[in-house]
Amino acid sequence: NKKKKMDEGIITLGNGVKMPALGFGCAFGNWADTNAENVGFTPEDAWPAMSMAIKAGYKHYDTALIYGTQRAVGTQLGLAYAAGILKRSEIFITTKVFHPPADLGLNLIHNTLDMTNSAIDVSTRIRHDYERCLQELGHGHVDLLLMHWPGTGSDAVLNRALRKQCWQVFEELYRQKKVKAIGVSNFTPSHLTQLLEDCQIVPMINQIEVSPYFANHDTVTFCQAHNIVVVAWGPFGSGATGILRDPLLLSLAQKYNKNIGQIILRWLLQRRIASLPKSSNYDRSKANLDIFDFNISADDMTLISKLDKNLSSVPHGDPHAIA
C-alpha cells in the first residue's frame, strides 16, 4: 500500500521530472472579498503555515514573487534542512514571475511587471526577477518556474510577443540547468496554442483554477492532450464558493468515510491533476495528504464532474479576458 501511495502521489512531468501531486499553496491574504477590512497579501501568515505544513509532511511548496512569502518559505525549509528533518532533494519548490500590476499588491519594487510598458526590457527583467526569487528563497534553483499570468489587456499581438519573450528566457534558464522544469499559469487553450507555435520547449505545467464548481474542462482537456500537466489552484474554491457544504460532496464524504476536501483532492488525483490545497488547520492539512487509501467509483467521478457551475473563486481575475 505504501508503494501505491508513492506511485500515485508522484506525477511525472513531460521532461521526466517527478513532482509531488499534492502541494502546499503559499499565497496568503484576502483577494476574494474586496469589501473586507484588509484586501491584499498577508505574507506574515506564511511563517506559522510553513511550520505547520512541514510538520504535516508536505514536500511540494508553491509560491510566487508577488506573494511576498518566498523568504518565509525558503527560511523555514532551510531550518528544516538544518535540523535534519528534510533534505533539499526531497523538496519540490515552485515559484512564479511575470504578474501584471495588481490592485491587491504594491507594484513599485517590481513584485509585478508592467510588461506592456515599452520602456521595460522584459527579457532582462525576467532574468532579474528569477534571480530575486532565488535570493529571497535562499536556494540555488527552483524545481518549477511558472509564467504567472498570460499578460494583461486586449492587445493580442503585443501579449503574444511578450509571452514569447518571457518563454524564451525560461527556455534559456532551463537549458542552463538553472531550473528543473518550466511552465505557465492561468493560460487558456488559445494562449497555449500560440505559445506552442512560438516555443521550442513545450510547457511542462499549466497551473489553473480547478474545483468541482469550476471544472475548467476545456483547458484541462487541451493540456492533457498536449502532455502538459495540470496543477489545480483553489481546489476548495478558496473558501468563497460554498463548495465545502455541497450536498453531493457531503454524501460522498459519508459514503467513502472521508471529508469533503479529501473527496475533491481524490477526484483531481484520479484524473492525474495535481493540486494545491491550503488550510491553516494542522489536522486538515495532514488529512489533505491522506487520499491514497480509497478510490472514487467511475459513476461518482462523473457526478462530481457534473457539479461544474463555471463559478470561479476570483471572478475579477478571468484569464479569458486577456488577449
Closest among 152, 182, 151, 142 to 26, alpha carbons compared:
142
Angstrom distance (rounded) from CA 222 to CA 140:
33
The catalytic residue among 58, 67, 174, 213 is 67
Provide the phi-psi class of 201: left if phi over 0, else alpha when psi is between -120 and 50, else beta.
beta
Angstrom distance (rounded) from CA 73 to CA 237:
23
Secondary structure class of 54 (helix, strand, coil): helix
Question: What's at 219, amino acid-wise?
Answer: T
Dihedral (CA of 83, 81, 230, 157) sign: positive
Angstrom distance (rounded) from CA 108 to CA 101:
9
Question: What's at 113, amino acid-wise?
Answer: L
Buried/exposed code over 192-218 (b: 16+ C-beta within 10 A; e: otherwise): bebbeeebeeebbbbbbbbbbbbbbee
Active site residue 81: no
Question: Which residues are designated catalytic?
Answer: 67
